[in-house]
Amino acid sequence: MEIPYIVTPRKDTGLTNSKIAIWLFLASEVMLFGGFFSAYVFLRIGADYPWPERTLPVLPGLINTFVLIGSSVTVVFAWASLKLRNWRKFQLYMGITVACAAIFMVLKGVEYSVKFSHQAVRLTDYTVLEGHLGYELKEGADSHHPKAEDYEKDHNGNKIEENRIRVETSALTFNTLRFYKPWIADLLDQAKHHGDAKITLTGDIKGIKTEGGKEEVLFKAGTPLSVDLLEEIQSLHLAARSHNSALRTAASRVEWDKALAANPDKQGWELSSEVNVDMEALKPRFLTEIQSVPFKVEPATRFIFKPRDIREAATQSRLRDDTVVDGKLLESPMVFHNLDAIDFQHLVMKAEEKGIDPQIAIQNSWIMKNSEFARKAWEWHNKKVEALEKRLIADYGFEADGKTPKREPTHKERYRLGWKELAKMAEDGGMAKLSFADKMKEEFMGPNYAARTEKTFPHLSVPREQIGFASKFAPAWNTYYAIYFTITGLHGLHVVGGALVLAYYLFFGRKMYDANPEWLANRVEVGGLFWHFVDLVWIFVFPILYLM
Amino acid sequence: MADTPEAIKKATRLYLIIGGALFVGTVLTVLVATVEALDIGRHGFDMADCILGLIIATVKASLVAVIFMHLNHEKKAIYWIFGSGLVFVSFMAALIALAKGDPQEDPLFYDGRPALEEKAAEESAPPVEAAPAEVAPTTAAQP
């Protein structure tokens, strides 16, 4: 079948159909990205925490902007080369365009991966700490010089971060319907390895299995935990539940029929108060539903959970599958192998809301009371802020009233100690000197812990009860990162999609070029229009997300 | 549109110039955001920086749209299509104005308002017991 109007324009519009189509698509794309930018503004003006201003690495963003602008020029050159019937030059320019797309995605990938491995935690006093977590070592391993085989591994063979919840478990109660099978195996495994403990049924489970039957012992106390056992209980529970609800429904139907027969002139909804099912009469016919199954752990044993799987509390915790874990919460600190930022902005915001002096709130924070390093860093930082304050007054003077300085340090400059400040502090103290190459690498990959060592970025163990909220720098951390990943992720998908189309013309366009070069030129123009649009979106993304 | 070889050759020179302008614009965006001497308004990021940054970005985006995407000489249909997209976006962006009355902007929304209402109720005179009005039944009574 021949597609009409893809080389010659239609008479009424004066355009090829493909061009109309791409502009319709671009108009819808404008609305899509426009929606997300509006969402960004909404989130920012509605944020109840200090918005992370100018927080992303500028250099990779800047390079990516150059790369996209450059590729926009080369794609239009590629189109011009086709118009001039120069296949070689078309290949060259299109090749550069596709290579630019690849560079863009690599830089974006580096940016993302740095975020996904960078830990943030908001303490209960609203101090925010950032850094890298350490990894769990096997028991008895040398913690100062761990070898590769000293690290504990999870079932995927990955190292496990020092951020786990430990509970001295004496009892487990499973939800019959919601228990998660793989966790049962894991719990049994932990019980075996952490103390050779037995997990057994706490008491006899008694119940009625058949209608009108006698209550009997269904499962004996002391039966060991297994998936099969839980599944058997689950199937009994489900059978009982459907049996009982069928009884209730049948009884209810009988009552409704009676009520309707007695009141032929009334509507159903007028009768609902007259329909009463006698549950007591039904009870002897019910089967026993087993909602939950209690097990005891003997002897009480340390179980370890991932923070995301458990809602921990001092004596009773709950897993995500509704399993209740009875037992004392053991020390379960979050251990920063390298702490690279101390941020009081949120704490100060909360203090100011309550009318508390920010400096007093900071002095009373957990980190200032418990970390010598934080106190030293804060003292150093305050001197810097003071110097900045003085310099700004010297440079810009006061407002007309003679009291208010024209320029003052920002909230962020006052209350945030980022990794660059900590690095500066260590360098001022003559502790670490990095080569230019290492410093450039930091611009892309974030703080270099290996080169700067724990003298710059110290170890810190945060007790579990101090932790308010913890996350990697992922969409979950705050609404800024949520919208950042949404917009840049969507834009990245557009880059990939556009590059695929352009690469198709580059590698498979020769046949079309030989058959009808104008056809390929039109296609490249349409692909190019999309590519320019991707560039156009980035022109807004870069200043808004990276510089504002 | 540039269709003859001469016109296209001429146009490529323009593309290079525009590409250069975009590079310069990008450097400018970063400089006004990071160099203190070029910082307008208050110290650090503020509304003035936001507006300046968006103006530079809009100029850059317009250059891409007008020159690279050939909107400087396009057929009417395209202007209608793209224009209507922009209209919807500006409508959507205008909805942000509705956030003016959001709780975050109103310090009394969560805590203050009930107290204020109580106070207002105390201050106003005790309500006069209104005589129960004779309300005519709206539906005819069934026999």
Residue B108: per-residue pLDDT = 61
Question: Could you tell me what percent of chain B has a pLDDT over 90?
Answer: 41
Q: Would the CB atoms of B81 and A24 count as touching at under 8 Å?
A: yes
Kindly tell me if the per-residue pLDDT of B116 is higher than 70: no
- Angle in degrees, CA A7, A10, A14, rounded to 5: 100
Q: What token pair was written down for A370?
A: 């418990």
Residue B75: per-residue pLDDT = 87
| AA identity, residue B65 | A
**Residues of chain B found within 8 Å of residue A41, distances taken between Cβ atoms:** 93, 96
Mutation to test the A interface, candidates B47, B68, B92, B106, most A Cβ within 10 Å: B68
Residue A179: per-residue pLDDT = 96
Residue A452: per-residue pLDDT = 87
Query: What residue ranges do the domains of chain B occupy?
Result: 5-105
Q: Locate CATH 1.20.120.80 in chain A.
A: 18-118+476-547
Tell me how close the Cα of A458 comes to any Cα of chain B, in angstroms. Answer: 29
**Residues of chain A found within 8 Å of residue B52, distances taken between Cβ atoms:** none
Place of tokens 């939800």: A175
Kindly tell me if the per-residue pLDDT of B93 is higher than 50: yes
Of chain B residues 59-88, which have a CB less than 8 A from chain A?
60-61, 64-65, 68-69, 75-78, 81-82, 84-86, 88
Mean pLDDT over all residues of chain B? 79
Question: Could you tell me what percent of chain B has a pLDDT over 70?
Answer: 69
Q: How many residues belong to chain A?
A: 548
Q: Would the CB atoms of B15 and A30 count as touching at under 8 Å?
A: no
Beta carbons of A506 and A91 less than 8 angstroms apart: yes
How many Cβ atoms are within 10 Å of A181's Cβ, its own excluded? 11
Residue A358: per-residue pLDDT = 94
Which residue on chain B is closest to A58 by alpha carbon? B30
Look at A317-331, B41-55, B105-119 and tell me which has the smallest mean pLDDT: B105-119
Residue with more model confidence, B51 or A1? B51
Of chain A residues 49-68, which have a CB less than 8 A from chain B?
53-54, 58, 62, 65-66
Q: Which of A34, A69, A73 sits opposite B92 (nearest CB)?
A: A34
Q: How many residues belong to chain B?
A: 143
Of chain A residues 505-544, which have a CB less than 8 A from chain B?
528-529, 532-533, 535-536, 539-540, 542-544
**Residues of chain A found within 8 Å of residue B98, distances taken between Cβ atoms:** none
| AA identity, residue A76 | V
Query: CA-CA distance, A479 to A488, in Å (whole number)?
Result: 14
Query: CA-CA distance, A521 to A41, in Å (whole number)?
Result: 40
Q: Would the CB atoms of A80 and B8 count as touching at under 8 Å?
A: yes
Of chain B residues 112-141, which have a CB less than 8 A from chain A?
none
Residue A450: per-residue pLDDT = 85
Tell me how close the Cα of A364 comes to any Cα of chain B, in angstroms. Answer: 26
Residue A511: per-residue pLDDT = 93
For A18-118+476-547, the fitting CATH number among 1.20.120.80, 3.40.50.300, 2.30.30.90, 1.10.3720.10 is 1.20.120.80
Residue A138: per-residue pLDDT = 82
ipTM here: 0.82
| AA identity, residue A368 | M
Of chain A residues 412-451, which have a CB less than 8 A from chain B?
412-413
Residues in chain A where the model's pLDDT stays below 70: 1, 155
Query: CA-CA distance, A298 to A200, in Å (whole number)?
Result: 8
Q: Would the CB atoms of A34 and B64 count as touching at under 8 Å?
A: no
Query: CA-CA distance, B14 to A76, in Å (whole number)?
Result: 11
Whether A394 has its CB under 8 Å from any CB of chain B: the answer is no
Tell me how close the Cα of A474 comes to any Cα of chain B, in angstroms. Answer: 24
Beta carbons of A259 and A274 less than 8 angstroms apart: yes
Kindly tell me if the per-residue pLDDT of B136 is higher than 50: no
Residue with more model confidence, B123 or A96? A96
Query: CA-CA distance, A162 to A119, in Å (whole number)?
Result: 11
